[in-house]
Structure 1
Amino acid sequence: MSKLFSLLTIASIAIASVSAQAPTSNLVDGACVTNYDASIDYFPQKLNTADDKGTFFSVSYHNNYKIVENNKSGRTYVLVQCGTPAPTGLTNVTEIYTIPVSKVAAMETTAVPYLELLGVAESIKVIADGSLISSPCFQTHLASGEVTNLSANNKTLQAEQVASVQAQFGINPYEPISNATVSTGQTYEPDVLGRASWISYYAAFYNYENMANEVSKKMVDNYQRLTTAASGYATKPIVAWTTFDAPSQYNNNTATYILSNASYKVGLTKDAGGIMLNSTKTKYGSAAELLEAISSVDVLIDETFIGSDLTDFLKNYEIASGQESKYKFLENKRVYREDGILTASGGYDWFEAPVAMADALLEDMINAVNPTAPSTSYKRNWLRNILLEEPIKYTTAENCTWVESSPRPNLATTYEGGAFNAAVSGASALSGSLIGAFVVSLASLAYLA
């Protein structure tokens, strides 16, 4: 994203002098401008993109408005500071919004954790399907009655709900309307840190650039320390991400076996100290064909939705009893699923919090690659080992541990140690020690203050 911020670069360098140009008498935090002066820069705090990995959006600043471009959807949004005039003469503008927003709709579950990290989740007044949101504190917000589920069948009510908010993040699943939404794109990013960087995209609508900068810097710094600690293994475990796609109308009623080579998974695996299975083939017509390709894999991440335990896994992949020794990942007891945290209705937190919390996701992956790291006591959040019969954690409002009106603590802890011990294959990897220390992030705890 850095290369897309040509105007932002100049503005960031001049931030100190710009701050002096916006007196608090003209712009109080969260309030509209009074006594508008065209010469004043009303956005003294701008996004810091020095270490940004995002590729699909950009934000540029002008005295009283911002231009937000979603380069994935091709949409451009003009965000005008409340109390100031909208610009004229701009072309190819999708929508104009008055900011800061205070009432929004979240049509896609992935938007919620970003707004929680910013501390503005209570601005969500309409949600497409609250039962799929795994955040326990958002479930509390949902139970309060201050946020409603989008009507699926009553179009009149649905239109009223959409009209009641200032911005709609994501596409209405029941009535997609062109140019009536703030399009998203974080899950298309080819890099884990790039996905997390979308906190800046959302922050621009709230004038919360400072918060986004703070969260992003801590996350990037921690991610880099973890990556460095996991980079020195003499032998890097081989990892494969696979899916059993059961017969359905979408695949001509023919089972398909998929070996993923998604860019962000390749990068995440590498950053965790592993190496992705080197294969140019991604689709297989039979379980036997896939199993032949992955037989020597040390760590397997099963992304199949159908089946949640080892019995289901063996059935899906057609592995007969007594054949376990043929596959290294089974001998190593290293088969993981992404369903470690679910809602009661089956909503995956995997598609929510870890998308926004890159360093927390990396910690889970580090532990999947090397069970002694990042600490011997580390407990994974999302990657669940079915060979060790690890249970699914179901979230409810009773699990809420922070205040939804304040920034949500990142699930990551801050790593302050040295290199991890070499990753070891097999059951022996479940014991051992590491060099370094793992301490609770004081910054995360400070969010609760």
Structure 2
Amino acid sequence: MYEPKFTTKVIILFNLFLQKLNNLTFDGMMKKSSFGLVSLLIFTLLFTSCKEKKSELALKQNPDTPSIQYAQGFSIEKNADYTVIRVVSAWPGASEEFSYALVPREKLASITLPSDAYDAIVPTPVDRMIVTSTTHIPAIESLGALNTLVGFPSSDLISSTEARKRIDEGSIRELGTNENINTEIALEINPEVVVGFGINGTNKAYETLKLSGIPIVYNGDWTEQTPLGKAEWIKFFAPFYQKEAVADSIFKTIESSYKEAKVLAQQALDKPTVLTGGLYKDVWYVAGGNSWMSQFLKDANANYLWKDTEDTGSIGLSLEEVLTQGQKADFWFNPSLHTAYEQLENANPHYIQFGAYINRKVFSNAVRKGETGGILFYELAPQRPDLVLKDLISILHPDLMEGYETHFFSPLQ
């Protein structure tokens, strides 16, 4: 038996009502206008109900999209058939938006997507992936998908113990450098997708691989300016492996750990002053007031001397400017890549004028390295901001975290 659609039922009921209204006698005409208002009200209610039914249907057809709370550089849209990842900040100042369709393998044959609608179409779950930044490694490893990594440029920079084992076994191939990837090797290992890192939209190797039918997907995790914003890019990788729930759980744990540490830092009775950076040739680069590092120091309850600047990256200053403002700073973090006081003095004799140098309160994130020289901080810190914050709190407010062993920062030797 044919069952009218909801919208058809609305029209039928409304027409019946109008017929009754038109059949009113002359004596009832005075009431007709009132009936007209009632009819309008009923139609409005019915039409609203219709729209609500459509909304309910839409929700059933389009499951909830993964929530992105802190990251500004990407978004995820999920429907019943496939997932779309949009990257709006592949590099600083990027004006181009990239969109990627991730389609489950079992649905590839039944779904037709216009090739010009997306910058790449990737079957999932991915079995063979190339990534190009060490910041990608911890996310993939946390998702239990390190076995899918088959190639990496400048693999000596990787610190992960498990990843290094796969490199030694030949499971992860060396690809040269990100700016000049060895496309012959890349084509030979036949990845299903290359997750690219770029400072602009120009990379000839990427173009070559793309023309060969290999999807290129840009990841802009490094452009995020907040600790939790960077960490949330684990959700970018999750759809490639159909592990969204796993990524959400991992991120919630990191978020909770970070927030707890931040609350703990507020218990400190003092707010030590902090200097950052060091000289490169004749320019001293300090972290800007809206930078990633500045946010860490703020959350660690420190008085960062350049916190009021608006820069999101580094600020280039003269030695004289830094001496004027930072000579009496209580702590000094990340003096370029120097890891020993003797190195500092040899690099520039003016370094010894700083109070943090005199009082041995200089700390570096470049001391701890992987077995082939990769700096652990640059690889793991973006994924584990909670550990970075706890390191800083233990250094700045040692009474709040007695016995804590740092993961990234070490005193200069």
Shared fold, TM over 0.5? yes
The Cα shift of 1:272 comes to 1.0
The Cα shift of 1:91 comes to 5.7
- Residue in 2 that maps onto 1:268: 296
- Residue in 2 that maps onto 1:213: 248
Equivalent pair of 1:336/1:383 in contact (CA under 8 Å): yes
Equivalent pair of 1:151/1:157 in contact (CA under 8 Å): no
What does residue range 79-228 of structure 1 map to in structure 2 within 5 Å?
79-84=102-107, 85-88=110-113, 92-150=117-175, 155=182, 157-161=184-188, 164-171=190-197, 175-177=205-207, 180-228=215-263
Equivalent pair of 1:300/1:336 in contact (CA under 8 Å): yes
Aligned: 1:297 with 2:329: yes
Residue by residue over 1:2-58, the C-alpha shift from the partner in whole angstroms, topping out at 9 and shown as x without a partner, is xxxxxxxxxxxx9xx96xxxxxxxxxxxxxxxxxxxx7x7xx685344xx2111000
The Cα shift of 1:155 comes to 4.9
Residue from 47, 57, 64 that aligns with 2:66: 47
- Residue in 2 that maps onto 1:352: 379
- Residue in 2 that maps onto 1:370: 397
**DSSP-derived class of the 2:216 partner:** coil
Residue by residue over 1:303-349, the C-alpha shift from the partner in whole angstroms, topping out at 9 and shown as x without a partner, is 413x43101112334237xxx5x533234421011113213442211
**Separation in 2, partners of 1:113, 1:342:** 15
Equivalent pair of 1:297/1:329 in contact (CA under 8 Å): yes
- Aligned pair in 2 of structure 1 residues 292, 345: CA closer, same or farther (>3 Å)? farther
TM-score in terms of structure 2 length: 0.73
**DSSP-derived class of the 2:386 partner:** helix
- Residue in 2 that maps onto 1:417: none
**DSSP-derived class of the 2:285 partner:** strand
**DSSP-derived class of the 2:336 partner:** coil
Aligned: 1:62 with 2:79: yes
**DSSP-derived class of the 2:218 partner:** coil
Which stretches in structure 2 are left out of the alignment for 5+ residues?
1-55, 91-96
**DSSP-derived class of the 1:205 partner:** helix
The Cα shift of 1:245 comes to 0.7
Residue from 80, 83, 88 that aligns with 1:71: 88
Equivalent pair of 2:73/2:87 in contact (CA under 8 Å): yes
**Separation in 2, partners of 1:45, 1:125:** 32
- Aligned pair in 2 of structure 1 residues 107, 128: CA closer, same or farther (>3 Å)? same
Equivalent pair of 1:134/1:341 in contact (CA under 8 Å): no
**Separation in 2, partners of 1:328, 1:171:** 39
What does residue range 240-319 of structure 1 map to in structure 2 within 5 Å?
240-246=275-281, 255-261=282-288, 262-278=290-306, 280=309, 282-285=315-318, 287-305=319-337, 307-319=338-350
- Aligned pair in 2 of structure 1 residues 297, 154: CA closer, same or farther (>3 Å)? closer
The Cα shift of 1:138 comes to 1.0
More RCO (CA 8 Å, sep 6+) = 1
Equivalent pair of 1:241/1:260 in contact (CA under 8 Å): yes
- Residue in 1 that maps onto 2:366: 339
- Aligned pair in 2 of structure 1 residues 309, 139: CA closer, same or farther (>3 Å)? same
Residue by residue over 1:78-97, the C-alpha shift from the partner in whole angstroms, topping out at 9 and shown as x without a partner, is 11111113443586411111
Higher helix fraction (1 or 2): 2
CA RMSD of aligned residues (A): 2.7
- Aligned pair in 2 of structure 1 residues 148, 370: CA closer, same or farther (>3 Å)? same
**DSSP-derived class of the 2:381 partner:** helix
- Residue in 2 that maps onto 1:418: none
Equivalent pair of 1:193/1:220 in contact (CA under 8 Å): yes
- Residue in 1 that maps onto 2:270: 235
Which stretches in structure 1 are left out of the alignment for 5+ residues?
1-13, 19-38, 247-254, 390-449
The Cα shift of 1:233 comes to 2.8
Q: Which amino acid aligns with 2:124?
A: I
Equivalent pair of 1:334/1:368 in contact (CA under 8 Å): no
Equivalent pair of 1:240/1:300 in contact (CA under 8 Å): yes
**DSSP-derived class of the 1:177 partner:** helix
- Residue in 1 that maps onto 2:357: 330
Q: Which has the larger radius of gyration?
A: 2
* Greater CA drift, 311-320 or 124-133: 311-320
Equivalent pair of 1:47/1:212 in contact (CA under 8 Å): no
**Separation in 1, partners of 2:302, 2:188:** 47
**DSSP-derived class of the 1:313 partner:** helix
